[in-house]
Chains A and B, each alone.
Chain A
Amino acid sequence: MSAILEIKNVTRRFSGLVAVNDVSFDLQPKEILGIIGPNGAGKTTLISLISGTLPPSSGDILFEGKSIANMPAYQRARLGIGRTFQIMRPFPGLSVLDNVAVGALFGRGGGNAELARARELARAQLDFVGLGKNVDQRADELGGPGRKRLELAKALAMQPKVLLCDEVMAGLNLVEIDEVIDVIRKVRNEGISVLVIEHVIKAIKSLSDRLLVLHHGEKIADGDPETVLANQAVVEAYLGKRRA
């Protein structure tokens, strides 16, 4: 099977700082790829490069074999790339339902033009992530865990082929983490490829088919979770040299 998403030697500089340095990897169809790394490793930058909110300084990004590196964010969304934000950014003045309806109105293939139908799809998506009871609330009235789920529902309403999750488990308790893991597994079972950025190593280890480690913007390991987490360089990146 050919990869749905290919990252080829992508670099992103912020004036002097190299946030992502010559990173290459690919995402296979129906795969859950985990990306971990210490703070400042370049994880969120990487997601922004793929979703198109930041242009890469060099390198190429292919989606279904075609370069998307110079495409504006909205076109990538219409191709089928959905993302969540680590710093949750709902549309605060809109109801939870309408927040998600925006995803259904636009999203993949230009979305669904009819508001009533979009709201219907949004409702189904909210049930799916467990926010079915909160549809009429204003988005800024939701608590942290609720907003994480809302971020997921918004991205899923776009009917993406690839879902990029930026720390959807941060700040959740163990029960809530299990619930989100469950949702992400169900998403994959529907045929969507998922890229998960996470801090909670335990959660990502059980969730990912494959794990990739970023450190100072560089890829230092890539492989099955068990092997990667036992890797000497990874342990050093996380715990420092002496203790390892």
Chain B
Amino acid sequence: MKALQIPAVLIALIVLAAVPWFGSDVLVQFGINALLLAVLAQGWNIIGGYTGYASFGNSVFYGLGSYGVGIAMVQWELPFAVGLAFGVVLSVAFAILLGIPVLRLKGHYFAIATLALAQVMTAIVSNVKIAGQNIGLVLPPLNNDLLFYELALGLLVVATLTIYWLSRSRFGFGLIAIRENEEGAAVMGVNTTLYKVLAFALSGVFSALAGGIHAYWVTFIDPESAFDISLNVKMIIMAVFGGPGTVFGPIIGALSLSAISEFLSSEITSIAGLFFGVVVVAAVVLMPRGLADMLRRFRTTGWRYFAENIKATRL
């Protein structure tokens, strides 16, 4: 990291941490959502951005994290922290059991296979008695947005530090090598199967923790909302918009897109969805490598940056 970046990140962090003390309730609630989305985007960044496997299965981890907390707190009357740990255990088990067969697939096939996982999980959980079947679970309410906000922020910090470590560790280089050329990575000594499963599981840990916090915060979960595939689409859009395979890109993507989406849906309610779509399409065409890459290269290339990307997409 360059010399100026560390103070800048610290200041941003202090400002973010102070939001509940000067911001309105609405802002704090927006903040909890946006921060949890940023955690999800960072979680996806590990398997999708660094390892190059476009997972649509991360909403399964999110759902398992939600149900971990739900089942532990409602059915077994255990504390929240135990619920979070239970959700993480479920996610890691899922990542290992299903990751081993599914991670043999590449590209579109991997995406489709993981897409199916979320659907299957909805159907399964709807029939599990301890999970409240298709009625869902109502968690004991805790009216403390400050706590949820700081928890979400803390989780985002841990996720980001993990990714920072990835970007400069042997493990992270192995993942990047897999993304860039899997066969090439294997003949250079990277245990590709192990690394992919570990990345999938690590990605699952953060998604599950975000799901657990969200479940306790909204105090209600059902199979439809816990394993919602559109949430997975959101985390991909946010990570890719910000810059997949970078340390801060997915955070920037998640926070900025959350803000845009919030603004649009309050100002121009009826066609907000359309505008959001336009923002995403424009971003994909004009800066396919994400905001992070755009900010880095714009200084040297100027407006030509966008022209080159349009040319590269052969519109």
Name A's B-contacting residues (CB within 8 A). Answer: 51-53, 72-74, 76-78, 82-83, 85, 89-94, 98, 101-103, 105-108, 110-111, 113-115, 118, 154-155, 158
Asked if B176 CB lies within 8 Å of chain A CBs, one says yes
When chains A and B are docked, how far (Å) is the Cα of A6 from the Cα of B87? 51
Asked if B174 CB lies within 8 Å of chain A CBs, one says yes
When chains A and B are docked, how far (Å) is the Cα of A101 from the Cα of B168? 11
Q: A94 — which chain B residues lie within 8 A by C-beta?
A: 176-177, 180
Please give the number of chain B residues whose Cβ is less than 8 angstroms from any Cβ of chain A in the complex.
22
Asked if B169 CB lies within 8 Å of chain A CBs, one says yes
Contact A53 B187 (CB under 8 A): yes
When chains A and B are docked, how far (Å) is the Cα of A146 from the Cα of B187? 20
Known contacts A53-B183, A115-B168; A158/B173 CB under 8 A: no
When chains A and B are docked, how far (Å) is the Cα of A154 from the Cα of B190? 13
When chains A and B are docked, how far (Å) is the Cα of A89 from the Cα of B188? 12
Known contacts A92-B180, A93-B180, A94-B180; A113/B187 CB under 8 A: no
Q: A82 — which chain B residues lie within 8 A by C-beta?
A: 187-188
Contact A91 B177 (CB under 8 A): yes
Closest CB in chain A relative to B170 CB, distance in Å? 5
Q: A101 — which chain B residues lie within 8 A by C-beta?
A: 173
Q: Map CB proximity to A onto B178-212 as digits: 1 under 8 Å, 0 otherwise.
A: 01110111111111110000000000000000000
Contact B173 A77 (CB under 8 A): no
B169 interface neighbour in A90, A93, A98, A115, Cβ under 8 Å:
A115
Q: A93 — which chain B residues lie within 8 A by C-beta?
A: 176, 179-180, 245
Known contacts A74-B190, A111-B189, A115-B168; A105/B173 CB under 8 A: yes
Q: A72 — which chain B residues lie within 8 A by C-beta?
A: 186, 191, 193
Closest CB in chain A relative to B168 CB, distance in Å? 6
A51 interface neighbour in B185, B187, B191, Cβ under 8 Å:
B187
Q: B177 — which chain A residues lie within 8 A by C-beta?
A: 91, 94, 102
Known contacts A93-B180, A115-B169; A83/B187 CB under 8 A: yes
B189 interface neighbour in A53, A90, A110, Cβ under 8 Å:
A110
When chains A and B are docked, how far (Å) is the Cα of A52 from the Cα of B176? 21
